Structure 1
């Protein structure tokens, strides 16, 4: 150890350092979804392996960083929309590593009594979330696989914060493209939906294109990501709509991510027909 870092030379061609904030059981050589995403957002909680694959994809598809930022902006807009509809508790699934503009920051700025549960499988994401939230009794962090809806919903963290007799905003931001059809995303969503009170909401943003829209650059970037991080399943507008079974879509329905309740002309311009992702919000009747 030196200056809080454990150093070793590994196969990514860069000196691998284990910072003192990194849990000891993390494989520094294996990129993770949360840490690659953190790098794209400009965060500092990532390792050489994460940076290497993230940079490779950016070299192939330079607009990818802007795409990721648009998903983050949709999160902000969706939470504010829900606050305006009286929602005061949120379940953020696949929440990732904390960056500026987290759900609790947005929600508690409007109402300090808002409650939030963050759920992620990545130990770095969980460790940093817990550190950030130290002393905030209205927020809990759960390390769990979001595909296990029963496990998440029966956890002590969820039991402490969320009242299922009242509306809850469930957030699946840039998450479900990591769930293949074989893993039954409809069933996973149903496991959460069935516990929700009427008036609850589901927000989803998802990578995807309509038929014949995907570019060669996008295909190459996805090939790199599939090989080095995890496989992605792109879905089109119709396929995303089908994930909202049991929910009534809020206007404007399923649209390109920047086009959902845009806040500026730049959002509208960004939502050109080839933007690689869709978003929507549904309400449980």
Structure 2
């Protein structure tokens, strides 16, 4: 069952919309394009230009978020994590012949011996993940699913049997939650996830925000452009993003503009507005730690 292609489609998976998929800009493809990837269509390129015209920091924000994902994965290696749940995995980046790896590297290239499960609501993204991100190393798995169906995802045969819940699990939720407009649905999904994860697990979130905009209406313009394409885009405040971690303590440097989470990286010199998002990583405390807080 674990390797059965029919099990790719999980709870809330979007139905195949045929050619309609290529007639409208797609959030995953647009983000991939803005961050240096090549998997896009003319409709995505035209829309990306409209977004750039509304707020020219979106390119730096996309690159910063891309770099943050790789840097965070390397941090997880140093902390000994061997299990990763990648929620909203997005498109893989291009193969670099000089480096002999994808650039930036795939999760399984950073954590070659880890158990990795990739989840994305987009069927094309999930299919690309299956063909590019998956492989023999690390026993990876891919599931097309909607993270609002968190309980069903965590119980799915492509997910549950792959994780040893007696050991910590790292979860990546990078620039995924802004695409869910319903605040209560996001809060409920995160509550289910936090409860399911074993003590010592890590939760890494990046989330778009209006709080860092250069002008008051910059994110409003971006949101309006997506609205015109019938795509919900919901930047949230710093306080709303902090609440997604529940009572888990944040690793240093806390909840900060994404570029500033890795102070030794060149991105850290970028102005706050160029991140366009906040980032944090939290570690689930054990029962005794909770009782003492």
TM interval, shorter chain, is 0.7 to 0.9
Which structure has the higher relative contact order (CA within 8 Å, separation 6+)? 2
Structure 2 residues not aligned, in runs of 5+: 1-15, 94-102, 286-293
Summarize the Cα distance change of 1:125–1:223 in structure 2 as closer, same or farther, 3 Å threshold.
Answer: same
Pick which of 122-131 and 53-62 moved more: 53-62
Instruction: Pick from 14, 31, 34 the counterpart of residue 37 of structure 1.
Output: 31
Deviations 1:143-190 (A, max 9, x none): 111111122111222134222221000110011112234443121111
Stretches of 4+ aligned residues off by more than 6 angstroms = none
Summarize the Cα distance change of 1:156–1:259 in structure 2 as closer, same or farther, 3 Å threshold.
Answer: same
- Displacement of 1:86: 1.4
Instruction: Name the residue aligned to 1:263.
Output: 264
Asked whether 1:210 is paired with 2:204, we answer no
Instruction: Name the residue aligned to 1:192.
Output: 193
Summarize the Cα distance change of 1:102–1:281 in structure 2 as closer, same or farther, 3 Å threshold.
Answer: same
- Name the CA distance, whole Å, in 2 between partners of 1:41 and 1:211: 19
- Displacement of 1:129: 0.9
Summarize the Cα distance change of 1:132–1:160 in structure 2 as closer, same or farther, 3 Å threshold.
Answer: farther
Instruction: Name the residue aligned to 2:109.
Output: 105
- Name the CA distance, whole Å, in 2 between partners of 1:254 and 1:226: 28
| SS at structure 2 position matched to 1:125 | helix
Deviations 1:38-83 (A, max 9, x none): 2212323222322221221122222211101111111112222222
Deviations 1:70-129 (A, max 9, x none): 111111122222222111110010111111322222212xxxx21111100111111111
- Name the CA distance, whole Å, in 1 between partners of 2:217 and 2:203: 32
Instruction: Name the residue aligned to 2:175.
Output: 174
Instruction: Name the residue aligned to 2:18.
Output: 25
- Name the CA distance, whole Å, in 2 between partners of 1:163 and 1:255: 31
- Name the CA distance, whole Å, in 2 between partners of 1:140 and 1:183: 28
- Name the CA distance, whole Å, in 2 between partners of 1:261 and 1:42: 20
Instruction: Name the residue aligned to 2:62.
Output: 68
Equivalent residues of 2:61, 2:274 under 8 A apart: no
Q: Aligned residue pairs: how many?
A: 258
Instruction: Name the residue aligned to 1:147.
Output: 148
Deviations 1:206-225 (A, max 9, x none): 11133886444443233212
- Name the CA distance, whole Å, in 2 between partners of 1:44 and 1:37: 11
| SS at structure 2 position matched to 1:249 | coil
Asked whether 1:281 is paired with 2:291, we answer no
Summarize the Cα distance change of 1:147–1:214 in structure 2 as closer, same or farther, 3 Å threshold.
Answer: farther
Instruction: Pick from 78, 85, 90 the counterpart of residue 96 of structure 1.
Output: 90
Instruction: Name the residue aligned to 2:132.
Output: 132
Equivalent residues of 2:32, 2:91 under 8 A apart: yes
- Name the CA distance, whole Å, in 2 between partners of 1:273 and 1:25: 37
| TM-score between the two structures when normalised by the length of structure 1 | 0.83
Summarize the Cα distance change of 1:273–1:62 in structure 2 as closer, same or farther, 3 Å threshold.
Answer: closer
Instruction: Name the residue aligned to 1:163.
Output: 164
| TM-score between the two structures when normalised by the length of structure 2 | 0.81
Pick which of 166-175 and 223-232 moved more: 223-232
Equivalent residues of 2:60, 2:274 under 8 A apart: no
